[in-house]
Amino acid sequence: MSPHNNLLNRRRFLSRLGSGLTAAALGANTLTLPGCSNRTNANSQTPRSTTAGKKPLFKKLTEPARVTLVKGNNRREIVYQSLKMIEDDVLASIGNRKILIKPNMVTSWNPLCATHPDAVRAILDVLTPHYKKQIIIGESTAFGSTMEGFQTYGYTALAEEYNVRLVDFNAQPWQYRYVFGEGNKAIPIRIISTFLDPDLYIISAAQMKTHDRVVTTLSIKNVILGSPVSDHNGNDKVLTHTTGRAVNTVLHYNMFHLAQEIYPDLAVIDGFEAMEGEGPTRGTPFDAKVALASTDPLAADTLATKVMGFDPTRIMYLRTMNEAGIGQGDLDKINVLGTPLNECLYHFKPNHRMAEIYDL
């Protein structure tokens, strides 16, 4: 079974069972947890399943993955070319599903930490000749207003140029799931319902950046950590980070846990002007001038981590996802299309906290 079909089947399966499993973990009072939003609709808490059955078991992938890697002097062009090389695979994997493009903004005021709109333009340039339905561009900023971020970063022009709709996911319905905190205690968090839709094709339009807890933040983390709500009732994204910084910080486990249900279908990584140092929000520019794309997001993130100069096998969330067969994470089983890898190897400065912990 291909990684794409494996994830799609898993998402369909867990979408039906997730609320019931969460209720079992949190106890019978799930529906009346403090802070429950009146935006939660009737479908956001499905009845607990009495015939849940077993989760599928996953084996480490043996077949190789394809990742495109393009280096050049124009952001829009290199992102476009990275997708054109796998265009047939992308279109086949979309099928009849709705499309969501999930950029990475984090905040509404720092352009370097956000996906550039030209990277999204390139994605739309590839898709729109074939896909005639409206495409959603949705984000849920961790800090600041999402709609202000769309305005600040120039995304509002995209709605005039293409058949797209900009959506603030922090104002959308949500469902309860759980993550782990101090002492492995289960913590309820609000997950935006859109990310749980098994009929949605999720494109992660990620910015290549360093991170202060898990070394790198790329396509997978962009989607998984984009799914919790951050609004006037609280920032549930923060709840995934509740333990201290360490090689095995709980954020790795929480991302692996949530990835069983929330995961991108297509990775597009913009490293034209990346971020090094104090990422994910306070770093400095790094002109890597590369773009990567793959229908195997783990393979894309693994290769991007190598491009940045870090060892992906030392990053727990990448390693464990590889071991579980969520995607292909062995560099020797990743076929690089486009620019040779040896022309795109850099030495990004890590976040200083990670430099200390990982001895980088």
pLDDT tens per residue, range 255-266: 999 999 999 999
Asked whether the predicted pLDDT for residue 16 surpasses 60, the reply is no
Give the start-to-end residue ranges of the domains of the chain. Answer: 3-27+66-358
Residue carrying the six token digits 């709709």: 165
pLDDT of residue 24: 35
Kindly give the pairing relationship between strand 234-235 and strand 230-231. antiparallel
Taking only the tens place, the pLDDT of each residue in 148-158 is 999 999 999 99
**Taking residues 86-90, what's their average pLDDT?**
98
Mean pLDDT of the chain: 87
Ranges 2-6, 29-33, 96-100: which has the least confidence: 29-33
Both tokens of residue 103?
């950029």
Q: How confident is the model at residue 270 (pLDDT cuts 50, 70, 90)?
A: very high
Which residues lie below 8 Å from residue 283, measured CB to CB, with a gap of 6+? Answer: 112, 113, 209, 210, 275, 276, 277, 351
Given a contact cutoff of 8 angstroms between Cβ atoms, the answer to whether 92 and 295 are in contact is: no
- Inform me whether the pLDDT recorded for 37 exceeds 50: no
Cβ-based neighbour number of residue 357 at 10 Å = 17
pLDDT band at 18 (very low <50, low <70, confident <90, very high): very low
The pLDDT confidence band at residue 48, using thresholds 50, 70 and 90, is very low
The CATH code of domain 3-27+66-358 reads 3.40.50
